[in-house]
Amino acid sequence: MAAPDELFCWEGDWGLPSVDTDCLVVLAYAKFAGAPLKLQKLSNPWRSPSGSLPVLRTSHKETLSRPSDIIIHLRKQCMCAPITALLQTADEVNTLYSWNTLLSMLHSVVEVTAITAAYEAFRNMDFCSYLAGNLVFFFQKFNADFDLSAKEGADSLAFISLVEEKLRPALIYTFWVEPKNYVDVTRCWYAEHLPFPLNFFLPGQMQRHQLNKLCLQRGDESLEVGDELEKELYRDAAECMNLLSQRLGSHKFFFGDSPSSLDAYVFGHLAPILRCKLPNMKLQQHLKSLDNLSNFCSNVLLLYFPRDGRESCAQKTPSPPDGADFEHVPNKRRKQLLSALVALGAMLSYALLTGMVSIQQVQQEELQAIGPEEEEGDG
């Protein structure tokens, strides 16, 4: 069987499987669709195949970075089995193809051991009909929107566009532009989790990248950050959340009892706002006033990411004695020592180059001349 696709994403915090919105969208969709991905959670984007996160490395060594491209790829994975064109009628397949031939054709699609066990269990029934039914089930597995009607599919695309257009700019502003949120939370988190020396310059580089995205989304190259911009973005985001709340109503998910790609996008954008403790909590306060949306995020975490919720609770408990976390101390002290040495070296270099500190060499002859003068003075 082919190796599973490998997903690289930012590591989690605040009770979330990842701190990044795009990573949350992909992780949620993969969970909803049951895609068997090999997950790599990183705190260094340079260790990913593309140098950014999230990124999906397929079994054919292709890389995909945009959440929409990753979701489309997962859907295609479940819809391209060559055996479907051959399963015309039971008589044709039972006559033309032996059991070994069917196994060879299905080898890249389904677990061979599972097929063998199924064949043994259903030897006395029409094997082709059983196999076709199970393949249909397998195809549905990686498409979270499989059961949506045409109208529901159109609604899903419309609401996803609404989230991208109205909610994402406010999310970027909240975490990457609003001064206190950026300094106290965003930059602080990435500076603590990125390895040295990336933690010195990468947060600022990421902020500039997010600002460029915000400018592109608004169609304005010269973005004037201020109260007017904040009010406009938060007003659009509040309207978007109100519409999402009305669409969700009292349902468990947006289209009934099963999650879809819309649920993944909404969760990825709302969960960081709900779970992160921010100094400026305007957007969070509005979200918490919409009980069904808040409960929706909490239910997704509880049902599909229970481990992250437990880890969040564990982080809130008092820390154990020093000896319990001893294995992490040397690494931390080494990083602190290296940072201190680098900072000291930089300050000394600056002082020497600017002339604030100078090193003078005293000639040995001058020192010898000073000696007799002192002796004469004593005489």
| pLDDT tens-digit readout, 306-327 | 987 555 555 544 444 333 333 3
Q: What is the pLDDT of residue 342?
A: 65
**Which has the minimum average pLDDT: 23-32, 174-183, 318-327?**
318-327
DSSP string, 18-55: -SSHHHHHHHHHHHHHT---EEEEES-GGGSSSSSSSE
At residue 102, what is the residue type?
A: L
Q: What is the pLDDT of residue 227?
A: 85
Q: Are 245 and 288 in contact (CB under 8 A)?
A: no
Q: What is the pLDDT of residue 366?
A: 52
Between the CA of residue 120 and those of 103, 116, 316, 358, what are the distances in Å? 13, 6, 51, 87
**Which has the minimum average pLDDT: 136-145, 214-223, 248-257, 281-290?**
136-145
Question: 3-class DSSP state for residue 250?
Answer: coil
Instruction: Report pLDDT digits (tens) over 326-349.
Output: 334 345 556 566 666 766 776 676
- Whole-prediction pTM: 0.70
Residue 329 dihedral angles phi and psi, to the nearest 5°: -65, -45
Question: At 211, is the pLDDT very low, low, confident or very high (cuts 50, 70, 90)?
Answer: very high
Domain residue spans in the chain? Answer: 1-99+115-146, 147-305
Q: Average pLDDT for residues 185-209, to the nearest whole number?
A: 94
Give the β-pairing of 55-57 and 38-42: unpaired
Fold of 1-99+115-146: Glutaredoxin (3.40.30)
**Which has the minimum average pLDDT: 45-59, 224-238, 271-285, 306-320?**
306-320
Q: Are 309 and 16 in contact (CB under 8 A)?
A: no
Question: At 226, is the pLDDT very low, low, confident or very high (cuts 50, 70, 90)?
Answer: confident
Greater pLDDT, 315 or 37: 37
Q: Average pLDDT for residues 283-296, to the nearest whole number?
A: 96
Kindly report the average pLDDT of the chain as a whole number: 77
Question: At 141, is the pLDDT very low, low, confident or very high (cuts 50, 70, 90)?
Answer: low
Picking from 379, 308, 346, 335, the residue whose alpha carbon sits closest to that of residue 24 is 308
Q: Average pLDDT for residues 358-374, to the nearest whole number?
A: 52
- The yes-or-no verdict on residue 25 having pLDDT over 80 is yes
Question: At 110, is the pLDDT very low, low, confident or very high (cuts 50, 70, 90)?
Answer: very low
- The yes-or-no verdict on residue 229 having pLDDT over 70 is yes
Question: At 220, is the pLDDT very low, low, confident or very high (cuts 50, 70, 90)?
Answer: confident
Neighbours of 25 (CB within 10 A): 26
Between the CA of residue 242 and those of 197, 237, 285, 295, 376, what are the distances in Å? 43, 9, 13, 14, 96
By percentage, how much of the chain surpasses pLDDT 90? Answer: 52
Question: At 185, is the pLDDT very low, low, confident or very high (cuts 50, 70, 90)?
Answer: very high
Instruction: Report pLDDT digits (tens) over 164-176.
Output: 999 999 999 999 9
Neighbours of 261 (CB within 10 A): 27
Picking from 252, 256, 246, 254, the residue whose alpha carbon sits closest to that of residue 302 is 252
CA angle 38, 194, 273 (to 5 degrees): 75
Between the CA of residue 379 and those of 141, 337, 372, 375, what are the distances in Å? 105, 55, 11, 6
Question: At 82, is the pLDDT very low, low, confident or very high (cuts 50, 70, 90)?
Answer: very low
Greater pLDDT, 186 or 364: 186
- The yes-or-no verdict on residue 273 having pLDDT over 80 is yes
Q: Is 274 exposed, middle or buried (0-12, 13-18, 19+ CB in 10 A)?
A: buried
Only one residue has tokens 């006033």, namely: 289
Q: What is the pLDDT of residue 195?
A: 92
Spatial CB neighbours of 367, under 8 Å, sequence gap ≥ 6: none
Q: In terms of CATH architecture, what is 147-305?
A: Up-down Bundle (1.20)
Only one residue has tokens 């969070």, namely: 284
Q: What is the pLDDT of residue 301?
A: 96
Cα–Cα distance between 267 and 252 in angstroms, integer?
13
The token pair at 260 is: 């879809």
Q: What is the pLDDT of residue 61?
A: 87
The token pair at 291 is: 């009980």
119 half-sphere exposure, CB direction, 13 A CA radius: 12
